[in-house]
Structure 1
Amino acid sequence: MIRKSLLSTACASLAGLAVLAGCAANHPAPAPADNHGWIKDEVADSYVFGYPLVLMQTSRTAAVGDDGTQPGQAPVNTLRHEQAQPPVGAANPPTPNVDTLDSHGWLDLSAEPVVVTLPDARGRYLGARALDMWSNVIWSTGADANPRTGSAKAQTIAFVAPGWDGKLPKNVQRVDASSANVWLSVRIQSNGPRDLTAVKKLQRLIRVVPLSVYTGDARGSSMAAHGGPADTAPEAAPAAQVAALDANAYFTQLADALRDNPPSPDDPHAVKILADLGVKPGEPVKLPDGAADAIAAGLADGRARVAAVPANALTANGWSWLGDDIGHYSNDYALRAYAAYAQPGSGTKDDEVRPTVTIDSDGQALNGANRYVIHFDAKALPPVRAFWTITPYTTDGALADTDEARRSISSHDRLRHNRDGSVDIYVSANSPGKVRASNWLPTPRSDFKLVMRLYAPKPQATDGSWQPPAVERQ
């Protein structure tokens, strides 16, 4: 750390006590500099670095608790299946998905590997991913999915904790985790209320069991907690819980989580900064004394940086989205923290792409008082192997509270094409008329944002060669 001299450069270059005394007489000594600037910066840097781990730990506690028996919870090594789409007004989690029914579970690999079996979805999109406690994707179905449908093939995977050296049965793929805790998500395409029975049947075919149960060496069965997310959600989403933590509580949670979830070997500098601040794995936190203002300022800066779109995100026509590096972050802490904050559970570039827009082509906030159109040229529709959707949300991430049944528009809808093959999506709170009704996306009557989801995207969706079109006000 370079520290500035309290003397000016001119004075420091003179020699002799008499000269220094004269210099001091002509130039009164400045007030002592605030030497806590480094604390502010290191608190902010450390907040960004540790955010995914603290968020994942908070999410795990909310989902599992002590034994997974409370409403909205499920035991470890158990999948909790969504049974209905989120209701209007649900903002927990933010920007809830209305395109799939999801199954989530926390795996505990400390005693033995956990085996996951995925069924054949028979042409329906089914995507799965597993994340470590730092929100890195350690396995997903995206890269090996069916090239035409983007759906996962039937397969069996065993998630293994570090140091396990046993043998797995034949035809069971081994996935080595970086710690004993893994978050698993399986998403199955849902085509509306009439399709739920078929989706639930597939959910029941997903199996999650310890290795000893899979091989028959122990008795047991896979279980599934039921109920949609709306009636069992915690009082505050994990992101809101983390945002409410003061510095001492935040870094205490980080120190506790670091004990069982060590950072990557590529993170020595970040670990050293934490140690400088008095944050060490499994030890009581001792933040610097007499620096409350600097710590508070660093905490505020860290929160703002986590929520800010990183410089290396892709942007075009008002939309922003994460590209090729999503899911595999290395030491890009800003990208990793933003992905955890804005898109919790993000997969890789082969799993899903999620462009978001809040402004029209003139830079004005999207608002339901206006009418908009999104024009896709015939050869510029979202490039996917599976399907794409566009969903409107309020600015805080809640589903649009409209009188219309449609909550999103997708490539599965019977969209009306123009003569040249292009497609116009009409975005407004009020109906654009009977002729345009098939392409109408209802919105809130207030400010809103649009989230486009590309399931099993093609490479041009993440390398920047494809761009979503602007939202044009009519």
Structure 2
Amino acid sequence: MTNYIRAFAVMIAGLLLGFAMTAVSLGLGRGFGALHAGPWTAWPRHGGADISPYARAVLARSGEAPLGRDEGLAFFAPADSSGAPLDGRCDYRVADTAPAARFWTLGAVSAAGRLIDNPAARYAFTSSEIARREGGAFEIEIGAQARPGNWLPVAREPFMLVLRLYDTPLDVESAPDPATFPKIVKLHCA
């Protein structure tokens, strides 16, 4: 009888350990095959048939619908260009150009990936509506206080930036040039 109890205890311990390791694995990231360009990171396999089981589980938990591989790529930036985490108590400038794409959007989301509620109802900028400087470059100011020009409001909490490139010729098999991505510069903190 004691052998049965020991075997049952070992099975329960194995199940609990398996569930714990799965929960830790799902909480650590978005899976394998990340594509990095400075502070920006994308997972090109998320929109294809070769998505890993861990990435599939993370997407199922979040409810996110990734872009298909032929549709485009979504790049996430939880930190500025110097590597410091993005914080809503600070003001930032996203500047320069975006990689080649037929259309792009740049928005801010909470650290959990949800839209940030704001009285201006501004959640993102698109490549077709943004005010540009001569030569095609742009600047977007990000912060909790309203300001003129291209301003993207955020809450006074950690956040991420999301750059979605639609119909892009970007080579997902090699590392993209970080110089072709917008720079995220911290201006000052409150």
Query: Shared fold (TM-score greater than 0.5)?
Result: yes
Residue 339 of structure 1: how far off its partner (Å): 4.5
Counterpart of 1:367, as a letter, is D
Counterpart of 2:73, as a letter, is V
Equivalent residue for 2:41?
A: 320
- Equivalent position to 1:372, from 92, 110, 114: 92
Equivalent residue for 1:289?
A: 8
Quick check: 1:353 aligned with 2:69?
no
Corresponding residue SS for 2:170: helix
Output aligned runs, 1:105-124, within 5 Å.
none
Distance 1:347 1:398 in 2: 17
Quick check: 1:458 aligned with 2:168?
yes
Distance 1:352 1:472 in 2: 25
Equivalent residue for 1:392?
A: 108
Equivalent residue for 2:3?
A: none
Residue 314 of structure 1: how far off its partner (Å): 0.8
Distance 1:324 1:448 in 2: 24
Equivalent residue for 1:300?
A: 20
Residue 372 of structure 1: how far off its partner (Å): 0.8
Note if contact 1:329-1:335 (Cα within 8 Å) is conserved in structure 2.
Answer: no
Quick check: 1:403 aligned with 2:119?
yes
Note if contact 2:96-2:182 (Cα within 8 Å) is conserved in structure 1.
Answer: yes
Distance 1:323 1:361 in 2: 21
Residue 299 of structure 1: how far off its partner (Å): 0.9
Residue 461 of structure 1: how far off its partner (Å): 5.9
Distance 1:416 1:389 in 2: 14
Distance 2:140 2:171 in 1: 19
Equivalent residue for 2:141?
A: 426
Structure having the higher strand fraction is 2
Output aligned runs, 1:66-81, within 5 Å.
none
Note if contact 1:390-1:410 (Cα within 8 Å) is conserved in structure 2.
Answer: yes
Counterpart of 1:294, as a letter, is G
Distance 1:397 1:292 in 2: 34
Distance 1:383 1:346 in 2: 20
Which has the higher Rg, Structure 1 or Structure 2?
A: 1
Note if contact 2:73-2:165 (Cα within 8 Å) is conserved in structure 1.
Answer: yes
Structure 1 residues 27-56: Cα deviation after superposition (integer angstroms, max 9, x where no partner): xxxxxxxxxxxxxxxxxxxxxxxxxxxxxx
Output aligned runs, 1:215-364, within 5 Å.
289-290=8-9, 291-307=11-27, 308-323=29-44, 326-329=47-50, 332-341=52-61, 344-364=64-84
Distance 1:405 1:295 in 2: 46
Over 3 Å counting, the alpha-carbon distance change for 1:334 and 1:414 in structure 2 is closer
Over 3 Å counting, the alpha-carbon distance change for 1:339 and 1:397 in structure 2 is closer
Over 3 Å counting, the alpha-carbon distance change for 1:363 and 1:466 in structure 2 is closer
Corresponding residue SS for 1:355: strand
Q: Percent identity?
A: 26
Counterpart of 1:322, as a letter, is W
Residue 411 of structure 1: how far off its partner (Å): 0.8
Residue 343 of structure 1: how far off its partner (Å): 6.3
Over 3 Å counting, the alpha-carbon distance change for 1:335 and 1:399 in structure 2 is closer
Residue 376 of structure 1: how far off its partner (Å): 2.4
- Equivalent position to 2:151, from 440, 450, 459: 440
Note if contact 2:105-2:164 (Cα within 8 Å) is conserved in structure 1.
Answer: yes
Note if contact 1:415-1:423 (Cα within 8 Å) is conserved in structure 2.
Answer: yes
Note if contact 2:86-2:158 (Cα within 8 Å) is conserved in structure 1.
Answer: yes
Structure 1 residues 409-456: Cα deviation after superposition (integer angstroms, max 9, x where no partner): 111214222x34322221111134x3xx1x22111122111222222x
Note if contact 1:394-1:449 (Cα within 8 Å) is conserved in structure 2.
Answer: yes
Asked which structure has the greater RCO (Cα within 8 Å, sep 6+), the reply is: 2
- Unaligned stretches of 5+ residues in structure 1: 1-287
Note if contact 2:67-2:74 (Cα within 8 Å) is conserved in structure 1.
Answer: no
Corresponding residue SS for 2:47: coil
- Unaligned stretches of 5+ residues in structure 2: 1-6
Over 3 Å counting, the alpha-carbon distance change for 1:367 and 1:453 in structure 2 is same
TM superposition score normalised by structure 2? 0.77
The alignment's C-alpha RMSD in Å is 2.6
